[in-house]
Every structure is written in structure tokens, then in C-alpha cells.
């Protein structure tokens, strides 16, 4: 089991990123707690000293399995489905600007909120066409650098399209790019999926990345999800990537990160969990 946790390289409003603020101190803490990797939420790669960041994650012996891009929506409202063509273009350019750093670390680029929340003036058909265009373009650019993109279904209370795993799978099939897969998030699945394990098995080998949080979006063990069962389903698909903590920093970042990893490592592993 390879475990990472989300860290924001810049100040961010999004609440389920545990670590924000002093970058080096946070990386040192994450490593000391036993995490193998760190998922970096980067609003704009131009605001980050990329060489310095690489040196720091390596100093603390951490891998970077994924890069989160949603802050460009959260803080700047860049979106693949905005009625303004300039905003859509800026969202595409921002995605492409993540490719060099993702390539360096073998990280997947996550597209969740960056697909946007479109207004009523935009029809679902139009939004879907814009999303398809954006994903096709970005996947082609990423593919040329050997980088993969992970599409994240997000629950209905946060976005107005592609909320379920099945809808996400249909969409990525529609785009039809080899380097486009899925990011599954237990918090969203707990809201949208009739059965989380079935949905994990349905996504199967298209799973490129995985977010975990308990039912209340706190650390695993703080809610009522059955992590033993859902991780067994995940690894039964042949998935051998990271599971990444995207949960609330409650009661504080360090305590929640410690409780989460302790809980996950303490699960009585079934045969599928051994040796991972
Ligand atoms: C981002 O990974 C996510 O899960 C969304 O809920 C962001 O709001
Ligand atoms: Mn997520």
C-alpha cells in the first residue's frame, strides 16, 4: 500500500487539503509520519519554484504521485465550461503548464473542479462538447510527454456534471485518449454510488489515482466507510498506484494525518492487501 497526502503549495480556501503553509516543515512532517508520497495542489506552476520543490520532496524521500489543479477554479474561476472562450482557453493553457513538472515526477495531472460549474445559460450538450474539446487537447499535449491525466467524478453538491463513476467512465470513453483515466474519491463515491465496491470494480484498469477520506471527509476511521472492503476491491482491479489522503485537517493537520495513516496501516489485510 503506497500512501500519500494532499499538500497545497500556495494558500488555498479548499478545506480538505490538510497541509498548507510552511512547505518544508510540512514535507518533513509528512515524511516523518510514514507517508510514501505527497500529492501537490498547485494553483499555477508559474508561482512555484519547481526546482526547489523537487529538491525538497527528494530531501524528505517523498514521491509525487499526482498534481491537483482545482485551485485554478477555486481561486481564479478558470473552467473548461465557462461561456467566455478566453476563460476556457486559460483553463486549457493552465492544464498544459503542469505537464513539465508532472513529467519530471511521473505524476498524473488531476482534472476535477477545473472542468467548471457551468451556468444555466449553457446547455449540458454544449458543456459536454467543450469538456471533450479541452480534454482531447490536453491529453494530446500530455501524451507527447508521457504524462497521464485523471478525470475525477465530483458529487452533485459541488459540480453540475459527471458526478458518478459510470458517467465519468462514459465521458472518458467518449474522449477516447489512452492517457486519460479516472481518479476515484471515496468521499464523492459515498454520496453518488449505489455501491462503492461495485463502482471501483467497474472502473477497473481505468483507475489512475485514488483519493480517500471517510464518509464525513475526516481521516479514515473517523466515519462509517468500510476501508477494508473498499481497498480490497481497489487492489483486486490490479491497481498498484497511490492512495492519497484528501481529508479535513481536523482536529488539526498533523493529528488527522497520523490517525489516518495509523488506521490504514492497521487494517487487517486480506490476501489482496498483502505485499502492496
Ligand atoms: C478534489 O480532488 C475534490 O475532491 C473536490 O471535492 C474539490 O472540491
Ligand atoms: Mn478528490
Q: Does 112 contact ligand 1 (Cβ within 6 A)?
A: yes
| pLDDT tens digits for range 106-130 | 999 999 999 999 999 999 999 999 9
pLDDT at residue number 18: 78
Residues, CB within 5 angstroms of ligand 2 (ion): 185, 211, 246
pLDDT at residue number 276: 45
193 is catalytic: no
Higher pLDDT among residues 64 and 269, named by residue: 64
Q: Does 70 contact ligand 1 (Cβ within 6 A)?
A: yes
Asked if 153 and 166 touch (Cβ cutoff 8 Å), the reply is: no
Nearest CA to ligand 1 atom 7: 113
Residue 104 has what DSSP assignment? Answer: H
| pLDDT tens digits for range 247-267 | 999 999 999 999 999 999 999
CATH 3.20.20.150 assigned to 2-265: yes
Place of cell 455501491: 195
pLDDT at residue number 270: 45
Asked if 134 and 91 touch (Cβ cutoff 8 Å), the reply is: yes
- Catalytic residue from among 63, 152, 192, 193: 152
Q: What is the mean pLDDT of the chain?
A: 95
Q: Does 184 contact ligand 1 (Cβ within 6 A)?
A: no
Distance 17 CA to ligand 1 centre (A): 9
Nearest CA to ligand 1 atom 2: 112
* Pocket test residue of 77, 160, 161, 185 for ligand 1, highest count of atoms within 8 A of CB: 185
pLDDT of 83 over the 90 cut: yes
- SS3 of residue 193 by DSSP: coil
CA distance 6 to 19: 7
* Pocket test residue of 4, 12, 16, 77 for ligand 1, highest count of atoms within 8 A of CB: 16
CA distance 71 to 43: 5
| pLDDT tens digits for range 16-71 | 787 888 899 999 999 999 999 999 999 999 999 999 999 999 999 999 999 999 99
pLDDT at residue number 20: 86
pLDDT of 77 over the 80 cut: yes
Task: Name beta bridge partners: 7.
Answer: 19, 40
pLDDT at residue number 268: 58
Domains of the chain, by residue range, sit at 2-265
First to last CA, the chain: 4
Note the pTM of the prediction, 2 decimals: 0.95
Amino acid at each position: 500500500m503506497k500512501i500519500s497526502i494532499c499538500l497545497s503549495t500556495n494558500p488555498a480556501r479548499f478545506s480538505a487539503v490538510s497541509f498548507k503553509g510552511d512547505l518544508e516543515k510540512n514535507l518533513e512532517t509528512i515524511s516523518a509520519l510514514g507517508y510514501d508520497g505527497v500529492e501537490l495542489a498547485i494553483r499555477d506552476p508559474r508561482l512555484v519554484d519547481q526546482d526547489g520543490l523537487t529538491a525538497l520532496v527528494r530531501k524528505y524521500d517523498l514521491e509525487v504521485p499526482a498534481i491537483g489543479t482545482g485551485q485554478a477554479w477555486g481561486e481564479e474561476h478558470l473552467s473548461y465550461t465557462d461561456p467566455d472562450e478566453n476563460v476556457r482557453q486559460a483553463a486549457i493553457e493552465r492544464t498544459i503548464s503542469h505537464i513539465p513538472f508532472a513529467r519530471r515526477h511521473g505524476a498524473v495531472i488531476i482534472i476535477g473542479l477545473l472542468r467548471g460549474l457551468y451556468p444555466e445559460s449553457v446547455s449540458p450538450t454544449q458543456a459536454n462538447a467543450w469538456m471533450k474539446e479541452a480534454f482531447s487537447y490536453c491529453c494530446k499535449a500530455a501524451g507527447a510527454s508521457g504524462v497521464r491525466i485523471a478525470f475525477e467524478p465530483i458529487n452533485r453538491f459541488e459540480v453540475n456534471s459527471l458526478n458518478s463513476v459510470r458517467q465519468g467512465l462514459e465521458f472518458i470513453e467518449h474522449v477516447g485518449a489512452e492517457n486519460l483515466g479516472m481518479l476515484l474519491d471515496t468521499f464523492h463515491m459515498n454520496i453518488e454510488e449505489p455501491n462503492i465496491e461495485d463502482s471501483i470494480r467497474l472502473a477497473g484498469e481505468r483507475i489512475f489515482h485514488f483519493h480517500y477520506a471517510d464518509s464525513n471527509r475526516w481521516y479514515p476511521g473517523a466515519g462509517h466507510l468500510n476501508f477494508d472492503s473498499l481497498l480490497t476491491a481497489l487492489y483486486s482491479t490490479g491497481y498498484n498506484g497511490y492512495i492519497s489522503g484528501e481529508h479535513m485537517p481536523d482536529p488539526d493537520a498533523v493529528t488527522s494525518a497520523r490517525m489516518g495513516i495509523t488506521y490504514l496501516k492497521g487494517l487487517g489485510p486480506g490476501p489482496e492487501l498483502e505485499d502492496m
